[in-house]
Amino acid sequence: MKQTWRWFGPRDLVSIDDTLQAGVEGIVSALHHVPTGSVWSPEEIARRQREIATMRDGTRSGLAWDVVESLPVSEDIKKQKGAWRDHVSAYKQSLHHLAEAGIEVICYNFMPVLDWTRTDLAWRRPSGATCMRFDLVDFAAFDIHILERPGARDDFEASLCEAAAERFASMSPGRREELARNVVFGLPGAAENFTLEDVRMHIAEYAQISEARLRAHLVDFLEQVVPVAEELGLRLCCHPDDPPVPLLGLPRVMSTEAHYAELMQAVDSPANGITLCSGSLGARPDNDLPGMMERLGSRVHFLHLRNVKREGGGVQVSFFEDEHLAGDTDMVELVATVLREEARRKAEGRADWSIPFRPDHGQDILDDLNRRAQPGYPSIGRLKGLAELRGLIAGLEHRGVAQLS
């Protein structure tokens, strides 16, 4: 399991020097400044590679850009409207340029409008640490009373609507603004300050797109780009919905094992793979993470290891980002299953037997609380998570993979 770290580029408050001191072996990054739908040029890819390879004092870091996260899929592609065919062509060209640069693993997602959704970006824990949280009552209050989406009440049980009305009534104007900002933060390009009207516009454009239609659009997209990726020796891997339930009336097509199994069968190629995110998928109690790794592991090309604690027993519940070895996912069994899959691949002679993973998200602790890096991506909180995962891997390997079955 190759230890990697997500880095957002030169503006990231966590530097390449920091990642090296954390003991990582590779970097996960993207060209966030390139507009979605545009070609990633060889020059921009090479620049990011140089930035990763160089420490602040100019010495070599020894790190390389191992995983792209993400080469974004445009909303036009998802909706098959506007310039979507041009965007697909640009995506293919970007794949060629990434292959020429020696980068083989490309993560992407097919979530409509929202990349991820949280109601709190710094929710205080009893220890004083802070974490990201999805509060279902707060979200319903946003959807019904702040966004005022038509038909929103129909998507929630009556008791939840009542709780949301009470919650909204008790919110100060400042909290209402904060809640709206937090939800909008997960929108692509949210740094450009989306308004609520922008959100309504995006949602309205999906009014005629059902779950079945969105899935068909995903298959259409993959049928065009996967043959290119396979020819180039690349591995595409789709990230799950976060959270893995319908939100804001939008369809979701990558939330369950059945969704992934159907997609792997629809475009049956080793280049069509999975980003197994234990945090996103773990927000649903009916997602068996070790079981998914066991059954779909041959197509898992990238791992996000994090944990969430669910609050309630339903499919759609509140949850918060817990410590990496806490929460509701059995991280020990999941990592053991990953190690068994790696052993199987190695025995088959697969060149990609070592699966890259990164400590996804993390609680803000110690100096993180003052540094205020990208929400979910603190330096010390992720370092702690990586250290715990590194220890878990070492302990399981010491026992011997054969003894883990």
Q: Which of 145, 202, 239, 324 is flagged as catalytic?
A: 239
Closest CA to 307 of 353, 296, 298, 287: 287
Q: Which of 277, 322, 364, 368 is flagged as catalytic?
A: 277
3-state SS class at 3 = strand
> Is 377 part of the annotated catalytic residue set?
yes
Asked whether 244 and 280 are in contact (CB, 8 A), the reply is: yes
**CA–CA distance, 326 with 149 (Å, rounded to integer):** 36
Closest CA to 42 of 104, 106, 96, 108: 96
- State yes or no: cis peptide before 285, omega within 30 of 0: no
**CA–CA distance, 218 with 243 (Å, rounded to integer):** 19
What's the token pair of residue 160?
Answer: 């939840």
Q: Which of 87, 301, 304, 324 is flagged as catalytic?
A: 304
> Is 304 part of the annotated catalytic residue set?
yes
Q: Which of 91, 108, 206, 377 is flagged as catalytic?
A: 377
The pair phi, psi for residue 59, each rounded to 5°, is -75, 160
> Is 322 part of the annotated catalytic residue set?
no
Closest CA to 186 of 255, 141, 139: 139
How many H-runs (helices) and E-runs (strands) does the chain carry? 15, 12
Across the beta sheet with 318-322, the strand order is 120-124, 130-134, 318-322, 307-311
Q: Which of 202, 217, 324, 361 is flagged as catalytic?
A: 361
Establish how many alpha carbons lie within 13 A of residue 6's alpha carbon, considering only the half-sphere containing its beta carbon.
Answer: 25
3-state SS class at 324 = coil
> Is 361 part of the annotated catalytic residue set?
yes
Asked whether 10 and 24 are in contact (CB, 8 A), the reply is: no
> Is 32 part of the annotated catalytic residue set?
no
Asked whether 175 and 114 are in contact (CB, 8 A), the reply is: no
User: Any idea which residues carry the catalytic annotation?
Assistant: 239, 277, 304, 360-361, 377
